[in-house]
Amino acid sequence: MLREKIEKHLLSVQKPSRYIGGEVGSIVKDKSKVDVRFAFCFPDTYDIGMSHLGMKILYSLTNERENYWCERCFAPGEDFERIMRENEIPLYALESLDPIRDFDFIGFTMQYELSYTNVLNMLDLAGIPLFSRDRTDELTQIVVAGGPCVCNPEPLADFFDIFIMGEGEEVNLELMDLYHEMKSQGASRRDFLRRAACIEGIYVPQFYHFYYNEDGTIRRMEVTDGAPETVRKRIIKDLDKVYYPDNFVVPFTEIVHDRASVEVLRGCIRGCRFCQAGFIYRPFREKSTEVICSETKALCENTGYDEVSLASLSTSDHSEIDPMLTKLIDYTAGERINLSLPSLRADNFSESLLEKIKKVRRSGLTFAAEGGTQRLRDVINKNVTEDEIMNTCRIAFEGGYTGVKLYFMMGLPTETDEDIVGIAELAQRVADLYYTIEDRPKGRGVQVSVSTATFVPKPFTPFQFEPQDTREMIEHKQKLLLDSVKTKKIRVSYHDPNVSILEAVLAKGDRRLCNVIYSAWRKGCKFDSWSEYFRFDRWSEAFDECGIDPGFYANRRFSYDEILPWDHIDFFVSKDFLIRENKTAHRGETTPNCRQRCSGCGVNKHIGGRCFDQTESCI
């Protein structure tokens, strides 16, 4: 039996509890009473995947249906994968320990481009054909994907039967209902895919065909089998009414974010021009304080966690942030539960907010300045001034903190060497500010951590048209920053340029990259987001073998009028708006946030009204 094979080898691997299931809160059903089985696959290890909030929501939501069963599946570590291959143990789901090849749906959540080779590796371990064209016409093993990366699904199009665009709470169940209906009728895979393509938010890539110009750009796209010309994402309009679990699976082993998590809002009002999440999750929607507090209480009581995190893109932008935190702290402090409040902004950080934070945590404070000069912050529409950054750090230092972390990006559009030097100069001014605080902790110096990431142009942002810096340019800027820091009170960290380059290629690529990903996987690429596994030389070989120049995607400016690989996907933000914002950026002008004035992004025409009552109508 498969169970015996697995148990025989568990003591030979690190963290065997990753592979056994049976955790508190996991859901086991009678297979004889189940009509549709869904394997929810996370293309990374258990430790990372079990921290993902989307999996927790959709796992519980699906299992609310008595005749549907959602089980979890994760990428095995290298040691256990070796045992699986040597002993012919197929990839299996944790609840039943059944091979996922026996499931109706094999669903992946795509959170990061550098997990693409892990998808192929997991399908191979499961014994499922990697390419959709090689799967039988039987209505089984439907391979689907959702998550932020599928806003440009084309680099993965040959491997998936279906992509789910947008938020999954409603569309996932609609897809499973259709499958249940058609399976009972004896329908074929293709018949099911034709019907599925008619569900809003469902993209079936085999019905879309691309033709290219001699210069490599897309000439046109043809659609067959009655599929829609444009696939619109799905959204949940009312977060207070949407399903949210009152229990999580509690792991046996420590995971990356080992705590309860409550979503407080979706979307973002800010419009930072580099931020994909800020655009693809529009419109901005909040949960009420009452709902947030009731969900927090239910999760903590049912899971036993002594820490809860408020999840969002910008928690401090919640319109009721002060009364919400006051009510939450009354509960969490009384129950000795730690409250984690990420996603803080320098322009709305206050002394009262700091006092609330100090009651629930004493960990470090992180603020995203993004650009080293005000000119560059205006280009990217950060809408944070240096005075606001300095005032925020002053409040933190006066509140007893002896260190802050500042987050920046390198390689942003229009960036110059002066902007890079500006990062070091701003960090120095923050460090100097600490010593002007009269009641600072005696005998303790300041520590300013400067974390820099390389800019990656992403689809559905105003900077989707921009080229990424070359490796030589990135390395020059990294060295310049290090040389500009003159004190040990400032610590600088940055990313491997090759990782950011590959991320840009996969983010902006088209369907021709499918063969590159397959070739890289065949050469042994997997866990590409892990520095100990990342092999850019093998990726370079794969690009060469497939005749693909990665610079065509990463280092070329995309023209406004060319057909982009994701133009047939509608995430509610119009291309005309993105073009306007790109031009505004190059003029060095800012755009007000959504609460101040509607910028005409196109979202509210899809939701049937204004995003905010106080804003003007959409342009």
Structure tokens at 41: 């696959």
Of the three residues 343, 363, 383, the one that is the final residue of a domain is 363
Residue 479, phi then psi, degrees to nearest 5: -65, -40
Q: Which of 189, 196, 176 is nearest to 38 (CA)?
A: 176
150 and 227 in a single domain? The answer is yes
Q: What is the pLDDT of residue 28?
A: 98
| Residues 244-294: tens digit of each pLDDT | 999 999 999 999 999 999 999 999 999 999 999 999 999 999 999 999 999
Same domain flag for 119 and 21: yes
User: Phi/psi at 569 (nearest 5 deg)?
Assistant: -105, 130
Q: Return the pLDDT at 360.
A: 59
Instruction: Tell me which DSSP letter residue 465 carries.
Output: T
- On whether the CB atoms of residues 338 and 290 are closer than 8 A, the answer is no
Q: Distance (Å, rounded) from C-alpha 383 to C-alpha 368?
A: 11
Same domain, 228 and 328: no
Tell whether 266 is covered by a domain.
yes
Instruction: Give the separation between CA 429 and CA 421, rounded to whole angstroms.
Output: 13
Structural domain range at position 75: 2-232
Q: Taking Cα atoms as reference points, which of 212, 112, 210, 116 lies closest to residue 160?
A: 116
CATH number at residue 203: 3.40.50.280
The answer to whether residue 94 is domain-embedded is yes
Give the 3-state secondary structure of residue 310. Answer: strand
- Asked if residue 480 belongs to a domain, the reply is no
Q: Are residues 266 and 207 in the same domain?
A: no
Q: What angle do CA 246, 248, 253 make, to 5 degrees?
A: 155
- The total number of structural domains in the chain stands at 2
265 and 223, same structural domain? no
Note the pLDDT of residue 611: 80
The verdict on residue 189 lying in a domain is yes
**Could you state, in chain order, the average pLDDT of each consecutive group of 10 residues for the chain (619 residues)?**
89 94 97 97 97 97 98 97 97 98 98 98 98 96 98 98 98 98 97 98 98 98 98 95 96 93 95 97 96 97 94 91 90 89 65 65 75 97 93 88 94 98 98 92 89 97 98 97 96 95 98 98 97 97 98 98 98 97 98 93 83 54
Angle at 276 between CA 274 and CA 282, to 5 degrees: 120
- Please say whether the beta carbons of 463 and 585 come within 8 A: yes
188: in domain = yes
Residues 6 or more apart whose CB falls under 8 angstroms from that of 274 comprise 370, 380, 409, 412, 455, 457, 458, 461, 463
Same domain, 160 and 29: yes
- Domain ends where: 363, 392, 418? 363
Which residues, in sequence order, are CB contacts of 413 under 8 Å at separation 6+? Answer: 379, 380, 455, 463, 466, 585, 586
Do 115 and 6 share a domain, yes or no? yes
Kindly state the DSSP code that residue 67 receives in the 8-state scheme: T
- The H or E element that residue 36 is part of is strand 36-42
Residues 127 and 215 in one domain: yes
Half-sphere exposure (CA, 13 Å, Cβ side) for 24? 9
Residue 242 in domain? no
Q: Are residues 182 and 66 in the same domain?
A: yes
Q: Within this chain, do residues 30 and 95 fall inside the same structural domain, yes or no?
A: yes
CB atoms inside a 10 Å sphere around CB 302 = 16
Same domain? For 209 and 265 the reply is no
Residues 91 and 225 in one domain: yes
For residues 312 and 294, what is the distance between their CA atoms, to the nearest angstrom?
17
Domain-embedded: residue 474: no
Q: What pLDDT does 618 receive?
A: 44
Domain boundary among 305, 337, 363: 363
pLDDT of residue 316: 85
Q: Kindly state whether residue 481 falls inside one of the protein's structural domains.
A: no
171: nearest Cα among 145, 206, 143? 145
Could you check whether the bond before residue 283 is cis, i.e. omega within 30 degrees of 0? yes
CATH for 293: 3.30.750.210
